[in-house]
Structure 1
Amino acid sequence: MTNPHVIVVGGGTSGMMAAIAAAENNAKVTVIEKNKKLGRKLLVTGGGRCNVTNNRDADEIIQHIPGNGRFLYSAFHQFDNYDIINFFESNGVRLKEEDHGRMFPVTDKSKTILEALQTKMEQLGVDIITENPVETVLYSEDAVTGVLLLDGSTLTADKVILSTGGRAMPRTGSTGDGYKWAKKAGHTLKTLYPTEAPILSDEPFIQDKTLQGLSLRNVALSVLNKKEKIVITHQMDMIFTHFGVSGPAALRCSMFVHQTMNRDKSEEVTMKLDVLPDLSIGQVEQELQKLLKNDGDKSLKNALKGLVFERYLLFSFQRLNLDENMPLKQMTSEQLKSFCNFLKDFRFTANGTHPLEKAFVTGGGINTKEINPKTMESKFKRGLYFTGEILDVNGYTGGYNITAAFVTGRIAGMHAALD
């Protein structure tokens, strides 16, 4: 097909990359964005600094995309995170690497990334329509034919790429429009759920705000199933809040809270907290024996304060009915054992997470089994492609979701222009 007309619905991260890839391969490209401006969600990613990708090997990136990351293997063979880095650097954006491989623009501004994408589209002659949303996508029996806009006008197209995002952060325009057009084409939707969302708990110690605001560094937070087997553990920082727990460890566990509650058909799930994950329980007991020997005359509060944060230590005494002023040497072996267990295995219940509207990322979406992983094309309608968060693919924060968005966008745009 010579110079096909490709319509990209949605001018977000994956949509802009799809438009660029299609235009670079000689397609006539039109981007339709319902907002006034492109890239609204992109501007708020990475705390407004835009963590564009992650400088790790493909296998490691895919491990950090627990929601169907394996679907991306074929796409990664054509365009990967290193290609994303090259794309931006060759378009005048200098990047820098921070902790855990996260890549940011040197300017520390998301706007730099957005402007680079917009400039590239402009250079390639991409047409952009804003503030005139798509009413519906038009199909013949076996192929896509174009779109009907809200103002009643019809645009015909050889290919349509749906880059409409998920349902997280609706204020940026992600209101799930694309799902109904995918269903109209015969696609099925995997249940939507919030990911990278703070975890809720109605435990009394949460309700009475005993630990509210307490940040714990380098702890291991786990989700357990009804058989008390560990589903997932993340060793990172976390914070107690007035509604439950948040911070990196909690956000990463959040999708597993939903999945476990669904699988176990339960209204709640058990969380396990280990505040000394780098020590075995035996090593913690040895530390206590040393303290007993050297500081046995000191009160529990003073003798043990170097072990963990003081507020958490006082909380442990409260839970174990220990008098903080009691000399350490008066602790019975049973009390010592209980104290070690508390530090290594404190359990509390969680009853969900913040809703999808407040989450950073949408879990669930268009069933990836219905999409060609090499091209992102629908297996049901010729010329229909999907990119980014509309797909049932989701990763952790740290540049993984945006990597999936750029990669799927690139692959869809390229194949829409060439196939």
Structure 2
Amino acid sequence: MSKVLIIGGGAAGMMAGVHAARAGHEVHILEKNEKSGKKLYITGKGRCNVTNNCAPEELFPAVMSNPKFLYSAFYTYGPQDVMTFFEDAGVPLKTERGNRVFPQSDHSSDIIKALERELKKAGAVIHLHTAVKDLVCRDGKASGVKLIDGREMDGDSVIVATGGYSYQATGSTGDGYRFAKETGHKVTEIAPSLVPLKTKEDYIPRLQGLSLKNTGLTIKSGKKVLYQDFGEMMFTHFGVTGPMILSASAHIGRKMEKGELKASLDLKPALSPEQLDARVLREFEAGQNKQFKNVISVLFPASLTPVMLELGGIPAEKKIHDISREERLHFEEIIKAFPFTITGMGEFKEAIITRGGVSVKEIEPGTMESRRIKNLYFIGEVLDLDGVTGGFNLQIAWSTAYLAAQAIQ
């Protein structure tokens, strides 16, 4: 039995703690906050999207950075293992649209309580208000930590589970990157990911608060399509957000460094251009003597109609029977490709996760152990791994945590 020190009491740290303690090790989780699982508490809008209910091979396309590195992790401890873990720990789960898995209660606190219960049952100890200043390494091995208050804690193994640089109010202040650098590891450039997108057009802020559920999104660089998706989004005072937009940010993050990108929304994705034309013609025939603005209002939410009138190029007061075929078809093109320009990404304070981190080239993929320092492990978001929304980032945390816990001698 060895003594394991885990820096960080978030998703990865707690999961590693449970499995290491179950394997018979003496486990100490060092958490600088007043409680564990602070970031977990706010994930999935407070509902906690635990994982994605899919086969392990379906996880890889959802990982944006270094998916191949996670081969062992996902196949050793996949979504079904995670679901079994929480259901056995007394949290009934449910699967929603897009295979997203949530606690049936819709309370993230149930996930945190389950982890804390399992830690206690297995004999692990959580030390709150315990901030780590430095790693202690001797003869190429991790041998403990130095705390902010000057105390040293000895350990046979150290697991760094400090999270990334997003949601800093929860304690993710980049400590793990510093620990990695100070012990000779390469840390790739970090950037916010799963963030809202900033836009150029003045009509976007006028739609602030408008949510669209079934919408198609296309993002292009010149003529090249970078990203296409279908789902839910919302307009804000500075741009666009919502699940579909956050996932898009993970895909286009690196492309944004080259400048602005063109984007469009398909406001009626269930209709082909021909079907849309037939639908618009029906409305036109029913209101031939009405003004354009009064007829098209049935097609859109109230706040969107004035903007569509502006972009469509048909005068609002024009009578339906005076509208030409060309005008009508141009207006339908706007419905199928509502245009806007992406000028930038949200900041770390808005980011759900961090892109970049401890280089996976320095980590053993089957154990999460450092290739530079023995008995030192890095797990979860501190690594250069990031996925789209849908439970994939938490799955990365659970899978890498399990591997590290199993690898400790």
Give the drift of 1:162: 0.5
Residues 141, 340 of structure 1: CA spacing in aligned structure 2 closer, same or farther, 3 A cutoff?
farther
Is 1:411 the equivalent of 2:403?
Answer: yes
Residues 151, 310 of structure 1: CA spacing in aligned structure 2 closer, same or farther, 3 A cutoff?
closer
Is 1:217 the equivalent of 2:213?
Answer: yes
Other-structure match for 2:361: 369
Other-structure match for 2:251: 256
Other-structure match for 2:99: 101
Where 1:144 maps in the other structure, the secondary structure is: strand
Other-structure match for 2:328: 336
Aligned residues of 2:56 and 2:75 also touching (Cα < 8 A): no
TM-score for the superposition, normalised by structure 2? 0.93
Structure 2 Cα separation of the partners of residues 37 and 291 of structure 1: 58
Aligned residues of 1:257 and 1:269 also touching (Cα < 8 A): no
Is 1:311 the equivalent of 2:303?
Answer: yes
Residue in structure 1 matching 2:166, options 165, 168, 179 = 168
Aligned residues of 2:49 and 2:391 also touching (Cα < 8 A): yes
Give the drift of 1:257: 4.1
Give the drift of 1:289: 4.4
- Residues 56-65 or 193-202, more deviating: 56-65
Counterpart amino acid of 2:177? Answer: Y
Residues 84, 335 of structure 1: CA spacing in aligned structure 2 closer, same or farther, 3 A cutoff?
same
Percent identity over the alignment is 36
Counterpart amino acid of 1:75? Answer: A
Number of aligned residue pairs: 409
Counterpart amino acid of 2:215? Answer: V
Other-structure match for 2:225: 230
Other-structure match for 1:46: 44
CA RMSD of the aligned region, Å?
2.0
Cα offsets for 1:53-73 (capped at 9, x unmatched): 222222333333334334322
Give the drift of 1:160: 1.1
Unaligned runs of 5+ in 1: none
Is 1:240 the equivalent of 2:235?
Answer: yes
Other-structure match for 2:279: 287
Aligned residues of 1:200 and 1:245 also touching (Cα < 8 A): yes
Is 1:73 the equivalent of 2:71?
Answer: yes
Structure 2 Cα separation of the partners of residues 49 and 213 of structure 1: 21
TM-score for the superposition, normalised by structure 1? 0.91
Where 1:96 maps in the other structure, the secondary structure is: strand
Structure 2 Cα separation of the partners of residues 283 and 184 of structure 1: 62
Residues 331, 310 of structure 1: CA spacing in aligned structure 2 closer, same or farther, 3 A cutoff?
farther
Aligned residues of 2:227 and 2:252 also touching (Cα < 8 A): no
Aligned residues of 1:169 and 1:357 also touching (Cα < 8 A): yes
Aligned residues of 2:297 and 2:305 also touching (Cα < 8 A): yes
Give the drift of 1:332: 2.3
Other-structure match for 1:150: 148
Other-structure match for 2:188: 190
Other-structure match for 1:400: 392
Structure 2 Cα separation of the partners of residues 108 and 214 of structure 1: 24
Where 2:406 maps in the other structure, the secondary structure is: helix
Counterpart amino acid of 1:49? Answer: R
Give the drift of 1:231: 0.8
Give the drift of 1:298: 3.6
Cα offsets for 1:9-45 (capped at 9, x unmatched): 1011100111111112222211111112211111222
Aligned residues of 1:223 and 1:256 also touching (Cα < 8 A): no
Counterpart amino acid of 2:4? Answer: V
Residue in structure 1 matching 2:313, options 317, 321, 325 = 321
Is 1:138 the equivalent of 2:130?
Answer: no
Where 1:372 maps in the other structure, the secondary structure is: coil
Unaligned runs of 5+ in 2: none
- Residues 100-109 or 171-180, more deviating: 100-109
Where 2:217 maps in the other structure, the secondary structure is: strand
Cα offsets for 1:326-361 (capped at 9, x unmatched): 222322233223212211223222222221122121
Structure 2 Cα separation of the partners of residues 313 and 185 of structure 1: 58
Structure 2 Cα separation of the partners of residues 70 and 313 of structure 1: 46
Is 1:349 the equivalent of 2:341?
Answer: yes
Structure 2 Cα separation of the partners of residues 215 and 299 of structure 1: 27
Counterpart amino acid of 2:126? Answer: I
Cα offsets for 1:343-394 (capped at 9, x unmatched): 1223222222221122121122122232222111122222111111111222
Give the drift of 1:224: 1.6
- Residues 146-155 or 80-89, more deviating: 146-155
Structure 2 Cα separation of the partners of residues 9 and 336 of structure 1: 62
Give the drift of 1:218: 0.9
Structure 1 Cα separation of the partners of residues 295 and 65 of structure 2: 45
Cα offsets for 1:302-345 (capped at 9, x unmatched): 33334333432331221233112322232223322321221122
Where 2:304 maps in the other structure, the secondary structure is: helix
Other-structure match for 1:31: 29
Structure 1 Cα separation of the partners of residues 168 and 46 of structure 2: 17
Where 1:189 maps in the other structure, the secondary structure is: coil
Structure 2 Cα separation of the partners of residues 256 and 96 of structure 1: 28
Residue in structure 1 matching 2:197, options 175, 187, 199 = 199
Give the drift of 1:286: 4.0
Other-structure match for 1:386: 378
Structure 1 Cα separation of the partners of residues 95 and 244 of structure 2: 22
